[in-house]
Amino acid sequence: MSEDTFRSVEIERTSVGKYVARNVRGGSMSMGTGEDASFTPVELLLAAIGGCTAIDVDHITSRRAEPTQFSVEVNGDKIRDEAGGNRMQNLRVEFTVTFPVGADGDRAREALPRSLQQSHERLCTVSRTVELGTPVSIVEAAGSTGD
């Protein structure tokens, strides 16, 4: 992997069921089991899907006009499948976007359906990764079992 393509986050346990995720730029976010206000990993997955598409759509449409409203709701059902494993299904990303009256707003409204399609079909790394079913490797770091 090259420096241009490699992405990573680190997750540190702060207490039972509570963690902090950190990126290489110094950002951090708490996550946990859902017993407090912290995001759960499933909520972070939904936020990543919606956020990725929102960024794409915003960059394309706001070149034409600044939205007067821009919100995204992402939802789905967490199920236990036939194999006894947990997963999400029925994932849905719903955009509510409005633009001002006028020629610029008209151009932004016209660009909206195409920008949604472009994000879904080729731009949004997160939803494309989920849809394509990219394998995940789980490994134990050398020397992590003892002091």
pTM for the whole thing?
A: 0.90
Distance CA 57, CA 32 (A): 30
Q: What is the pLDDT of residue 144?
A: 74
Distance CA 94, CA 103 (A): 25
pLDDT of 43 strictly over 90: yes
pLDDT at 6 (0 to 100): 95
* Lowest-confidence segment of 97-101, 114-118, 137-141 by average pLDDT: 137-141
pLDDT higher than threshold 80 for residue 97: yes
- Could you read off the pLDDT of 117-143 as tens digits, one per residue? 999 999 999 999 999 999 999 999 887
* Residue 61: both structure tokens together: 């449409």
Q: Tell me the residue type at 101.
A: V
